[in-house]
Structure 1
Amino acid sequence: MASPDSNIVKLTPDAGAPAYRTAPHNIEAEQGLLGAMLVNNDAFYRVSDFLEPKHFFEPIHQLIFETAASLIRAGKVATPVTLKTFVPAETDIGGMTVAQYLARLAAEATTIINAQDYGRTVYDLSQRRDLIRIGEDMVNVAFDAPVDFAPRAQIEDAERKLYDLAESGRYDGGFQKFSQALAVAVDMAANAYSRDGNLSGLASGLRDMDAKMGGLQSSDLIVLAGRPAMGKTALATNIAYNVAKNWQGEIQADGTMKSVNGGIIGFFSLEMSAEQLATRILAERTGISSSMIRRGGISEADFDTIREHSIELQNLPFYVDDTGGLSISQLTARARRLKRQKGLDLLIIDYIQLLSGSGKRSDNRVQEITEITTGLKALAKELAVPIIALSQLSRQVENREDKRPQLADLRESGSIEQDADVVLFVYREEYYLQSKEPRPGTPEHEKWQLDMSLVHGKAEVIIGKQRHGPTGTIDLQFDASVTRFGDLAQDAQLPHQR
C-alpha cells in the first residue's frame, strides 16, 4: 500500500472479499526499495547479499526485482525503460500498465540511504510468512499423519525446517573488519593462556597428542580412522572421558553456563548400545576388563571399585545417543537440541559409515558420504565445537606389507579427506604381529618374540592431515584388556634403574 500522500497504486485485495487474516507484508517497503533500485542501481548492492525475489510478497515485485538484479549483475542499467521490455506488456497492475507502474515506482522512490532498512523489512516479513507456513504444515501433518510417520519424525522435520530458515540468507553476515577477527584471535590466545595445559583447544588428556594439535580446535571436523580392532572407539571414549572429567562451568551475566575448562560431551554411538559404551568406560577407569564385568567374574573388592567409579561417572557431563540408523539431518537436529538444552563442547560420532543421507537411500554411496561429511563440517562450524567422527578404512590396507594406513585408505576417501580439518589414523603393530607367530622353538620364533616385546602395549596415532599444524606420528600406550590409551612414559619419568 502506498503512503497517504502518494498517488502510487495500492495492491490490496478487493474490499468485498471475505475478511481473512492476510500474511504479514509491507507493500510500501517493497515499492520503496524497488523504486530506489530503479533510480540508483547501487541500491541493489546494499541488499543483494541477503534479499532474493522469493522474499517479496507481491508476485509482480518478485519479477521486477529478479529482472533488475539480472540486468545489474550483467553490467547493464536497470531503469523503467530497460525493464519494461522484460515484463509482459499485457500485465495489469491495479489498472496500470507495466510502463506506468515502473515510472510511478521511480517517481515515488525512497533514497538509497533507506534501501537496506527497507530490504531488511521485506526479508523479516518473508521470514514471518515462512514461519506461518511451517506452523500450518505442522498442524496439517499432525492431523493427517500417515501411520508410518511417527510424531518424533515430525518433530525432527519441523526442527530441520526451522533451523534451515534461521541459517539461510541472514543479513548479519558478509565482510567484517580485520580488527574484529584479530580481537577474536587475541581472546583465543588469552583463553589458551588461562586454560589448563595452555592449549587453544580442548585438552584431549593425552600429552603428546595435545602438543602436536594444540588440543581439539573449535569448529574442526576431526576424522579418526582405522581398521577394525585398532581401538578407534577406545581412543574416542578415552578422549571423551578426559574432557568431561575436567569440565568446569561458570555462570555468565545472562544466566547461561559457559565452559571454562574441559567440556560437555555429546556421543552418538551408532554401533554400540549405551550400556556397552558405559561398560567399556567402566573397564577403562577401573582396570577390570569389560568381559569380566559382563560375565560377573569379579570379586567383592572389584565390585566396590566399580561402584566407586560409577558414582564418579554419573556426575560427568556426558550424553549418549545410541539410536541406530540416524540420517545426517536427524543427527544435526539432535546435536542442536543438546547444545540448546544442556550445552555442548565436543561431539563424537561412532561412526560415519553407519549414518545415512537426509533423503532416500542413494545407490551412489560416495555421493551420500559426501553429503554426510559436508553436513558434519557445517555442523562443527555452526555449533562452534570440535566434532570427532570415526571412520572405517578400506580392506586394501590388509594387502600391503606395511599396514600403516594412508589417506587413500579412507572409504569413499574423496569427501572425507576434503572436508576433514584433521585426519587421525589409529595403528597397532602388535595386532598384526601376534597373528604371525611362527612355530615355537625355531629361530624365527625367537625373533618374533623380540619383535613382539618391542611393540607390546604400544599404539600409534598417525596425523595424516592437519590444516593448522604438522603431520606425524604420536606414540601411545595401549592396554588391550581394558581398551585404554595413555601417554608413553618419557625417559626422564621412567623409574630409576639400578
Structure 2
Amino acid sequence: MLREPEQTLATPRALPANVEAEAAFLGAVLIDNRILEEMTCPLTAEHFFAAVHGRVFSRIAALLDRKAVVTPVTLKPYFEADEGLLELGGTAYLARLTADGQGLLAPRELAQQIYDLALLRELISVGRTLVEKAMDTSEHVAPLSQIELAEAALYAVAEGAATGSEAQTFGTASRASLQMIEKALLSGGHISGKTTGLNSINEKIGGLHDSDLIILAGRPGMGKTSLVTNIAFNTADRLRRDLLDGIALKDSVGAAVAFFSLEMSADQLATRILAEQSGISSEALRMGRISREDFQQLSFASQRLNELPLYLDDTPALTIGALRARARRLKRRHDIGLIVVDYLQLLQGSGRSDNRVNEISEISRGLKTLAKELSVPVIALSQLSRAVEQREDKRPMLSDLRESGSIEQDADMVWFVFREDYYVQSREPKRPIDGDDAKTHEAHAAWAADMERVYGLAELIVAKQRHGSTGKVRMKFEPRITRFSDLAPDEMGASSYGDD
C-alpha cells in the first residue's frame, strides 16, 4: 500500500503548551510571592501560551517590583474588565488558581517547562517561516541569505528572545541604565563599559559600550592595527585576571574577544601580542634574532597567555553575512563581549550591488546590526582616502573616511590614529657629511630637534561620540614592539589636549 505523505504532513497538530502548568505556577506565586524572586528561569509574560496567563504574570511582576504583596484580592481591581478572564469566570478564576496549591510542590520545574515549551513554539515559527521562504521561488533566489536569516532567528531562540518581544518598557530600560551607572561608579567613576586597558582612552569615552559600532581609521603606517590589537589583548586579559581573582563575570570590565583579521594571519597577530608582552622586537621574533634568554622570556609570556579568552579568525574574503554567522557562534560558545574587524573594506557584501559605495553601506549597517543583536561593542578598522596627504595638516577628518557617508552615519564613535613622527621622519633632509655647508647642517639639526619633539607620541582623535564630547587623547607608542600605552603625567604636561 502506497503512503500518502501529503496527508500526513497536512495533519494539524496542536502547538506544544501546558495551560494547566501555567495555572499551577501562577497559583503557587500568588500563594508565595518569594517564588518569583528566587526563580532562576528567565520567564516573561510572552512565554505563556494562554494570553490571560501572560497578563496575570505581567501584573504580578509589576506589583512585586513596587514591593507590594500580591494575592488574588490585590490583583482583582486590575482584571475586573479583562475580557479573557471573563470567559474563564471573571476574577473568581484568580482565587481558583490558589485552590489546591499543587504548584508549590515544584514551582521551578513548572517555570522551566513553561519556558521550554515557549522556545519550542518559537522554533516551530522559525521553521515554518524557513520552509515558506525556501518554497517560494517567485522572486530572487538567495539560499545563502536565507541560511543567514535562519541562523539569526535560531540564535534569537537560543537566547530565549521571542521575535514579538523586542519592545521593552521604559522601566526596564532605566533599570539597565542604573546598573551601567553603578558599574561606572564602582570602577572608580571612569568605565561603564568594557575597558580598553588604556586609562587615557577610558577617561575620554567611559569604556567600550555594548551595542556600539566604533570605527577606528588611519592612514597606512599610523598603527591602527597595533592599537586595536593592544585593546583586544587588554580587554581579554582583564577578564582572565578578574576571573582568577574571583570577580564575577558580570562585574568584570574585561571581556572575551573575537578578532576577525582579514589582512593578517592569526600567527602574525599572535607574534605582535607576544612581542608586546615579552618586550622583544616583533621583527627580531620573525627573523629569529633572539638570545636563549629572550626565548625563555618568550616561552614564559606564551604560557601566561595560554588561557587568554581571545579568539582569532583569519578567514580571508568574508562576507558580512558570514562574519555575523561566525560571531553568533562565538557568542554562543564563548560568550564573547567584544568584536574586532580588521578591516572593514576587506569585507564583502551580499553581492546584490555592483556599486562599491552601496556595498560599504550594507557592510557598515551589518556591523551596527551585529553590535545591537549580540549586545557587544564592535570595533571596525577603516581606511582613509589619500586626501589627507594633500593637506599641510595631516590630521584626519570625518570627510577623509572612504565612502564616508554611511560609515560616519552608522558609527557611534569614530576614532583616528595620528602619529606626527611618521610624517616628520619622511621629511628628513640630506644627512650632512664633512665638507657640507652650514645650511645643510642647520637644516638637519632643525629636523632632528623636531623629530625628538614628536618621536614616540601618538594621538587618538575622537571625531564622533554619541555618548560624550569629541577631542584628542595623547598616548605613547613604542614602534619596536608595536605597543600603545598611557603617557606618564610629566610627559603630558602642557602639551596635553582638551576637548575640541
Task: Return the TM-score normalized by structure 2.
Answer: 0.68
Distance 2:226 2:213 in 1: 19
Q: Of residues 401, 412, 415 in structure 2, which corresponds to 1:410?
A: 401
Map 1:12-411 to 2 at 5 A. Answer: 19-22=7-10, 113=83, 128=124, 130-132=126-128, 134=130, 158=147, 160-164=149-153, 170-174=163-167, 176=169, 178-195=170-187, 198-247=190-239, 258=250, 260-357=252-349, 359-360=350-351, 362-411=353-402
Query: Does the aligned pair in 1 maintain the 2:418–2:461 contact within 8 Å?
Result: yes
Map 1:402-481 to 2 at 5 A. Answer: 402-441=393-432, 442=440, 443-481=442-480
Give the match's secondary structure for 1:475: strand
**Structure 1 unaligned spans of 5+:** 1-15, 28-49, 51-110, 116-120, 140-148
Query: Does the aligned pair in 2 maintain the 1:268–1:349 contact within 8 Å?
Result: yes
Deviation, 1:159, is 5.1
Deviation, 1:160, is 3.5
| Per-residue deviation, residues 360-384 of structure 1 (Å, max 9, x unmatched) | 2632011011111111111111111
- Indicate the residue corresponding to 2:488 in structure 1: 489
- Indicate the residue corresponding to 2:66 in structure 1: none
| Per-residue deviation, residues 23-56 of structure 1 (Å, max 9, x unmatched) | 75789xxxxxxxxxxxxxxxxxxxxxx9xxxxxx
Label 1:22 to 1:421 Cα distance change in 2 as closer, same or farther (>3 A).
same
Label 1:370 to 1:250 Cα distance change in 2 as closer, same or farther (>3 A).
same
Give the match's secondary structure for 2:336: coil
| Per-residue deviation, residues 366-408 of structure 1 (Å, max 9, x unmatched) | 1011111111111111111111100010111111111100000
| Per-residue deviation, residues 311-365 of structure 1 (Å, max 9, x unmatched) | 11111000000000000110001101101111111110000000011x2263201
Label 1:114 to 1:351 Cα distance change in 2 as closer, same or farther (>3 A).
farther
Give the match's secondary structure for 1:224: strand
Distance 1:429 1:234 in 2: 16
Deviation, 1:258, is 4.5
Deviation, 1:261, is 3.4
Aligned amino acid, residue 465 of structure 1 = K
Distance 1:297 1:384 in 2: 44
Structure 1 stretch displaced more, 308-317 or 193-202: 193-202
Label 1:388 to 1:20 Cα distance change in 2 as closer, same or farther (>3 A).
same
Distance 2:301 2:122 in 1: 54
Label 1:366 to 1:136 Cα distance change in 2 as closer, same or farther (>3 A).
closer
Task: Return the TM-score normalized by structure 1.
Answer: 0.68
Aligned amino acid, residue 295 of structure 2 = F
Query: Does the aligned pair in 2 maintain the 1:406–1:464 contact within 8 Å?
Result: yes
| Per-residue deviation, residues 430-457 of structure 1 (Å, max 9, x unmatched) | 1111111112342221111111011001
Query: Does the aligned pair in 1 maintain the 2:155–2:328 contact within 8 Å?
Result: no
Distance 1:402 1:300 in 2: 46
Label 1:23 to 1:195 Cα distance change in 2 as closer, same or farther (>3 A).
farther
Structure 1 stretch displaced more, 436-445 or 160-169: 160-169
Label 1:364 to 1:17 Cα distance change in 2 as closer, same or farther (>3 A).
closer
**Structure 2 unaligned spans of 5+:** 16-45, 47-80, 86-116, 136-141, 433-439, 494-500
| Per-residue deviation, residues 215-253 of structure 1 (Å, max 9, x unmatched) | 1111110100001110011000101111111105779xx
Distance 1:126 1:197 in 2: 41
Identity %: 48
Deviation, 1:185, is 1.2
Distance 2:276 2:446 in 1: 32
Deviation, 1:166, is 6.7
Distance 2:305 2:363 in 1: 31
Query: Does the aligned pair in 1 maintain the 2:276–2:483 contact within 8 Å?
Result: yes
Deviation, 1:19, is 3.1
Query: Does the aligned pair in 1 maintain the 2:151–2:325 contact within 8 Å?
Result: no
Distance 1:327 1:472 in 2: 33
| Per-residue deviation, residues 245-266 of structure 1 (Å, max 9, x unmatched) | 1105779xxxx96462311010
Query: Does the aligned pair in 1 maintain the 2:183–2:251 contact within 8 Å?
Result: no
Distance 1:17 1:487 in 2: 69
Deviation, 1:164, is 4.1
Query: Does the aligned pair in 2 maintain the 1:247–1:259 contact within 8 Å?
Result: no
Aligned amino acid, residue 485 of structure 1 = F
